Structure 1
Amino acid sequence: MSPSSASALCHCGRTDQRRRPLPYAQCCGRHIDHYEGCPAPDAESLMRSRYTAFVREDAAYLLATWQAARRPERLSFEPGVRWLGLQVRAHLPQGDDRAQVEFIARQRDATGRAHRLHERSRFVREAGRWYYVDGDLYG
């Protein structure tokens, strides 16, 4: 099943009120596939959609959602990486236009070794749209 099909579960792991995983099309797919018309409504949603974009190796979306002053010229993806899951630990709004999101993303590299990315990311809202700024890595 294609990751963008309406019934495929979203990679970010977000659930509804009944704790059922949301389909990609109702979750991050709204923001990734319809970037111009459906921006992420908050920093956590942007962070989740960026995780999903990493899983899908969607460099265009990742670059478009990176604050211009901090955006790299290009992105490359490590061959053979398999993303295993995302845990959001905290969403910390800091006024109307700034927020931090702490998360742990798990992955397995091409050799089979498991890795954890534990980060507190900073986000800013500019002209009504949220952008990733940078983050601090933990252990």
Structure 2
Amino acid sequence: MNRGVNRVELNPCVQPAKAPWDLPLSHSDYDKLLKGYRPEMMEDKWLSLADDPDAQGNTIIRICRSWTRNEQFLLTVSIEDTKDEKGGNCAKIIEITWETQKGNTLIVDPGEEGEAEAKKRIVALCRGLMDCDMSDKV
């Protein structure tokens, strides 16, 4: 089942930067990321959609600006064999991709400082939009 990416036309990152990440996700947070976030009002600025898992079981979570459909962040999420405290499968974010430019304006630095900033923004967005309990460890 496709979770929605093909139903919404998205504009990919133009100047992406990537970094590995090893951020564990609870079963609850993983489910929330898969469910995504759809804007409810014109003032809502974000949209989040999940791809179907690939052959390795990894899922891409796409976080975009709602009006332009421009991708700002992509999270590669991998299912883990471990169990969380509730006995459900856990996952972890294994990679983050972020947009570095908007026209001639630097949005998030592609270097180490930008990586830390992108990770902080993702945690804040996932908490605010999808009520995730993600770790502060970025």
- Both proteins in one fold, TM over 0.5: no
| Higher RCO (C-alpha under 8 Å, 6+ residues apart) | 2
What TM-score do the two structures reach when normalised by structure 1?
Answer: 0.32
